[in-house]
């Protein structure tokens, strides 16, 4: 929806005399400029996450364009089918949230969480399920939505578990792929971007649970994770 259209909708809503007072107030408030500083409204803290980024690999506009494209492909492929998107927490939630707004057919979403042991910038291949799906997938068309495929161990394990539940079909859409790092073969239907062998952050991807809120994909400065040895033996949620 273009900004003019949404402004029109807000204007229409404001004219509706049936609107509860609180709804009217929030609609009016969202028309104010965002930065309302002053007494009681301190400016938001500036967290210098960008300073840890060595380079922007994929900028926001390029990401959004590709995600929209993938949404159209998925809508075409699954038209008329009972589609459920499975997001692997937590890295893929930002991708999923943007992707589903470009999917124009009815579908459901569900979540799984896995963990792997090992150094925090490398996957060891030992995977454990922390959270399982809420609903059965038997006979349904399943699309696993991933943030990044690195060695492929996490996804390969997950696909085996899901396949055993007899879905009508099982495919993968990943935002990022590091083909140079692959240790197990995986059939990936849609890849947003193949990237070089660098540790990346942003748009859902983390290092030590941070940087997920960056709107672009960036390369983390090596000195940031070279100091992170203390994390090595911890169990890391992906």
C-alpha count within 13 angstroms, C-beta hemisphere, residue 231: 17
Written as six digits, the tokens of 49 are 């996450």
Using CB distances below 5 to 8 A depending on partner kind, what does residue 151 bind out of Mg ion, ligand IMP, none? ligand IMP
Give min distance, CB of 154 to Mg ion, in A.
10
Q: Does residue 92 touch Mg ion according to CB under 5 A?
A: no
Give min distance, CB of 182 to ligand IMP, in A.
8
CA-to-CA distance for 112 and 134, rounded, in angstroms? 9
Q: Which stretch binds Mg ion (CB under 5 A): 36-44, 156-164, 172-180, 201-209?
A: 201-209
Give min distance, CB of 217 to ligand IMP, in A.
9
Cα 1 from chain centre: 22
What are the two backbone dihedrals, phi and then psi, of residue 145, each rounded to the nearest 5 degrees?
-105, 115
* Nearest one of 93, 91, 88, 151 to 119, comparing CA atoms: 151
| Per-residue contact string for residues 205-224; x = within reach of Mg ion by CB under 5 A | -x------------------
Nearer to ligand IMP, 167 or 218 (CB): 218
DSSP assignment of 150-213: SSSHHHHHHHHHHHTT--SEEEEEEEEE-GGG--S----SEEEEE--S--EEBTTB-BTTBSTT
* Candidates 52, 98, 147, 150; catalytic one: 150
Nearer to ligand IMP, 152 or 167 (CB): 152
- Positions that interact with ligand IMP (CB under 6 A): 91, 123, 147-155, 199-201, 205, 238
Number of residue whose CB is nearest Mg ion: 238
- In the annotation, is 177 catalytic? no
Residue length of the chain: 238
Give min distance, CB of 89 to ligand IMP, in A.
10
Give min distance, CB of 238 to ligand IMP, in A.
3
Q: Does residue 238 touch Mg ion according to CB under 5 A?
A: yes
Residues 122-161 that bind Mg ion (CB under 5 A): none
CA-to-CA distance for 25 and 23, rounded, in angstroms? 5
Residue 124 DSSP one-character state: -
CA-to-CA distance for 177 and 174, rounded, in angstroms? 7
| Per-residue contact string for residues 41-80; x = within reach of Mg ion by CB under 5 A | ----------------------------------------
CA-to-CA distance for 77 and 176, rounded, in angstroms? 20
Please report, as ranges, the residues that interact with Mg ion according to CB under 5 A. 91, 206, 238
Question: What residues are annotated to the active site?
Answer: 150
């Amino acid at each position: 929806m273009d900004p003019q259209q949404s402004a029109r909708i807000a204007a229409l809503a404001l004219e509706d005399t049936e609107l509860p007072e609180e709804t009217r107030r929030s609609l009016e408030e969202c028309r104010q400029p965002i930065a309302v500083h002053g007494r009681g409204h301190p400016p938001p803290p500036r967290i210098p996450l960008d300073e840890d980024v060595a380079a922007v690999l994929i900028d926001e506009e390029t990401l959004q364009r590709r995600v929209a494209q993938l949404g159209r492909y998925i809508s075409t492929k699954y038209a008329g089918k009972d589609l459920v998107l499975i997001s692997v927490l937590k890295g893929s939630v930002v991708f999923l949230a943007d992707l589903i707004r470009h999917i124009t057919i009815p579908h459901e979403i569900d979540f799984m969480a896995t963990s792997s042991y090992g150094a925090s910038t490398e996957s060891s291949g030992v995977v454990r399920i922390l959270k399982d799906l809420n609903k059965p997938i038997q006979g349904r068309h399943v699309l696993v939505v991933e943030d990044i495929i690195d060695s492929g161990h996490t996804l390969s394990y997950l696909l085996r578990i899901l396949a055993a539940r007899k879905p009508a079909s099982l495919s993968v859409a990943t935002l990022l792929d590091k083909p140079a790092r692959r240790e197990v073969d995986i059939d990936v239907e849609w890849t947003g971007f193949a990237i070089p062998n660098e540790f990346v952050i942003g748009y859902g991807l983390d290092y030590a649970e941070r940087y997920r809120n960056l709107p672009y994909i960036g390369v983390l400065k090596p000195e940031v994770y070279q100091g992170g040895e203390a994390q090595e033996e911890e169990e890391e949620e992906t």
